[in-house]
Amino acid sequence: MGNAAGAKFEEPKAAGAASGAAAAVDPATRGKEIYEQLCVACHATGLSGAPKFGDKAAWAPRLKDGADAAVAIGIKGLNAMPPKGGFAGSDEEFKAAALYIINASK
């Protein structure tokens, strides 16, 4: 209405918009966020036999077939760990969290 009378007001930017383009989130950053929000509950303490974050010896047998195999197992779940550790996001986001944990254990 003000612009119709000669004013030059701009429309407000949408929340979370970054200069007209969606800002990409670094997978490593997203992986750390997911770990800190969810995975830490078990992987920081070893709850129910979960291999601890950064424990190379505990992770070694789980990584013998490679990181992709370990991620696939995590997506399906194993023993006390539900599929994706209970994470409701995408498989790609879960993979980012799993690789964050795995990389800290190499």
- Would 72 be classed as within a structural domain? yes
Q: What is the pLDDT of residues 49-74, one digit of tens each?
A: 999 999 999 999 999 999 999 999 99
Domain that residue 36 falls in: 26-103
Residue 12 belongs to some domain of the structure: no
What are the pLDDT digits (tens) for 8-38?
656 555 444 444 444 678 999 999 999 999 9
Residue 5 included in any domain = no
pTM: 0.77
Domain presence at residue 32: yes
73 is a domain residue: yes
Task: Work out how many domains the chain is built from and give that number.
Answer: 1
Residue 66: inside a domain: yes
How far is 71 from 99, CA to CA, in rounded Å? 8
Burial 48-76 (b: 16+ CB within 10 A, else e): eebbbbeeeebbeebeeeeeeebbeebee
Structure tokens at 86: 């209970």
Domain holding 99: CATH number?
A: 1.10.760.10
User: Do 105 and 54 meet the contact criterion of CB atoms below 8 Å apart?
Assistant: yes
How far the first Cα of the chain sits from its last, in Å, is 61
